[in-house]
């Protein structure tokens, strides 16, 4: 009884063996500070647990709007931004509708498009994994795309859209444009300033990466209020629980402290990216995110991942299964100490390969 389009897809799963240095899921290397965890727990303890949480607490929406520079009635909160990817696609896509996306990108878009009966149209990134903006526009027009997905900085390549690209895509196509900015805290332009001028734009953000709350699942969508109201119909009620709502408030209360950690991750990334080309047999791609994509020419990617894990306790992501990413691996930016260990291990493994 399962739709053929669904059976044809691989499930979204991840084998994550335990490792001393976990650099495979683009999480923050810094745990949420202990005193902030206590604050969250106190907030939650003071609330009645037998009651459902509020759908969309007005004061939280107002604070998110102020933080991101948008209007409160254009903000939707979700159980991770993944939930908002799903609800946005579900209220827009009908059978056979085309979704144009740069490729490779975050695999959930392809999977959910198939589940919803849409048709996924990948547009390859250019040489060096830069966005092919003209190619995206051309494909969207040719296919009469219903949706264009722009993930910038892009997972797993780290590439960011050039300044002005989203505006050009909005003005030269008729699709709903989803800008997934899960990694924008770490670099690249944001599409948020364009929201005031377009009702065909949805910007997704998450507290899972820079804000260090992946375990509590909090994401948001920013859109024209009339569009946000429609996307809300595709969301399950009560999916953002009391604990998550409390954690989101606490994260906003301490935004400057968390932003300092983001700056530290960016500084570590810059140091690593400057030193990686010194390792023999590696191509390093430009990144604006909290991860870096590298290609290994001396050792197959799978073997490199195995050696890093078995011999050095370093878990990175093997992304080499598709042709454009042949022999590529993605390394999340950890602490400065994690990254020194990564550089040492890579030099030892590849220096002898």
Ligand X SMILES: Cc1ncc(COP(=O)(O)O)c(C=O)c1O
Pick 215 or 351: Cβ nearer ligand X: 215
109 vs 312, which CB is nearer to ligand X?
109
Q: In the complex, what is the shortest distance from the CB of residue 52 to ligand X, in angstroms, rounded to a whole number?
A: 22
Our finding on whether 190 is near ligand X (CB under 6 A) is: no
CB of residue 150 vs ligand X: minimum separation in angstroms? 10
Nearest distance from residue 45's CB to ligand X, in Å?
A: 25
Backbone angles phi, psi at 295, to 5 degrees: -115, 135
CB of 83 to ligand X, least distance (A): 7
* Region binding ligand X by CB under 6 A among candidate stretches 76-84, 117-125, 299-307, 313-321: 76-84
> Which residue of the chain is nearest ligand X when measured via CB?
80
- Please give, one letter per residue, the 3-state secondary structure of the chain: CCCHHHHCCCCCCCCCCCCCEECCCCCCCCCCCHHHHHHHHHHHHCCCCCCCCCCCCHHHHHHHHHHHCCCHHHEEEECCHHHHHHHHHHHHCCCCCEEEEEECCCCHHHHHHHHCCCEEEEEECCHHHCCCHHHHHHHHHHCCCCEEEEECCCCCCCCCCCCCHHHHHHHHCCCEEEEECCCHHHCCCCCHHHHHHCCCEEEEEECCCCCCCHHHCCEEEEECHHHHHHHHCCCCCCCCCHHHHHHHHHHHHCHHHHHHHHHHHHHHHHHHHHHHHHCCCEEECCCCCCEEEEEECCCCHHHHHHHHHHHHCEECEECCCCHHHCCEEEEECCCHHHHHHHHHHHHHHHHHC
97 binds ligand X (CB under 6 A): no
| CB-based contact 173:148 (threshold 8 Å) | yes
Q: Quickly tell me which residue has 């799903």 as its tokens.
A: 86
Q: With contacts defined by CB under 6 A, name the span among 60-68, 74-82, 124-132, 193-201 that binds ligand X.
A: 74-82
Find where tokens 């993605």 sit: 330
Minimum separation from the CB atom of position 219 to ligand X (A):
4
φ and ψ at 84, to 5 degrees? -80, -25
Using the rule CB under 6 A, which residue among 104, 118, 189, 219 binds ligand X?
Answer: 219
Question: Applying CB under 6 A, which of residues 29, 80, 104, 118 lies at the interface with ligand X?
Answer: 80
Return the bridge partners of 205, or none. Answer: 220
**Smaller CB distance to ligand X: residue 174 or 321?**
321
Binding piece for ligand X, criterion CB under 6 A, among 48-56, 206-214, 279-287, 337-345: 206-214
Candidates 31-39, 79-87, 263-271, 325-333; binding stretch for ligand X (CB under 6 A): 79-87
Which of positions 126-155 make contact with ligand X (CB under 6 A)? 151, 155
State the nearest-atom distance from the C-beta of 335 to ligand X, in Å: 19
262 near ligand X, rule: CB under 6 A: no
Tell whether residue 208 is a contact of ligand X (CB under 6 A): yes
CB under 6 A: which stretch of 11-19, 62-70, 80-88, 249-257 binds ligand X? 80-88
Q: Of 47-55, 61-69, 78-86, 334-342, which segment contacts ligand X by CB under 6 A?
A: 78-86
Can residue 287 be called a binding residue for ligand X (CB under 6 A)? no
Residues at the contact surface with ligand X, assessed by CB under 6 A: 26, 80-82, 106, 151, 155, 180, 182, 206, 208, 214, 219
């Amino acid at each position: 009884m399962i739709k053929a389009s669904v059976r044809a897809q691989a499930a979204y799963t991840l084998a994550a063996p335990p490792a001393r240095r976990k650099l495979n899921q683009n999480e923050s290397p810094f745990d949420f500070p202990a005193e902030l965890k206590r604050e969250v727990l106190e907030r939650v303890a003071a609330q009645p647990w037998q009651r459902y949480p509020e759908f969309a607490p007005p004061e939280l929406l107002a604070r998110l709007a102020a933080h991101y520079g948008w209007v409160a009635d254009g903000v939707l909160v979700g159980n991770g931004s993944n939930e908002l990817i799903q609800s946005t696609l579900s209220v827009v896509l009908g059978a056979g509708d085309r979704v144009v996306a740069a490729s490779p990108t975050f695999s959930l878009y392809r999977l959910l498009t198939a589940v919803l009966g849409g048709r996924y149209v990948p547009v390859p990134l250019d040489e060096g994994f830069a966005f092919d903006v003209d190619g995206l526009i051309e494909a969207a027009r040719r296919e009469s795309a219903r949706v264009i997905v722009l993930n910038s900085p892009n997972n797993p390549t780290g590439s960011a859209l050039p300044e002005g690209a989203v505006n050009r895509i909005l003005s030269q196509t008729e699709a709903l444009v989803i800008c997934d900015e899960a990694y924008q805290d770490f670099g690249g332009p944001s599409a948020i300033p364009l929201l005031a001028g377009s009702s065909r734009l949805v910007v997704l953000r998450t507290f899972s990466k820079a804000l260090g709350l992946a375990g509590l699942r909090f994401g948001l969508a920013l859109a024209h209020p009339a569009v946000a109201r429609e996307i809300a119909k595709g969301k399950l009620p009560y999916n953002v629980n009391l604990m998550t709502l409390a954690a989101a408030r606490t994260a906003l209360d301490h935004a400057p402290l968390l932003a300092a950690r983001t700056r530290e991750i960016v500084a570590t990334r810059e140091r690593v990216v400057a030193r990686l080309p010194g390792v023999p047999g590696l191509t390093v791609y430009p990144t604006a995110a909290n991860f870096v994509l590298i290609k290994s020419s001396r050792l197959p990617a799978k073997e490199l991942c195995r050696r890093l894990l078995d011999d050095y306790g370093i878990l990175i992501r093997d992304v080499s299964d598709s042709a454009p990413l042949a022999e590529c691996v993605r390394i999340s930016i950890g602490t400065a100490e994690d990254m020194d260990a990564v550089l040492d291990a890579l030099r030892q493994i590849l220096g002898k390969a």
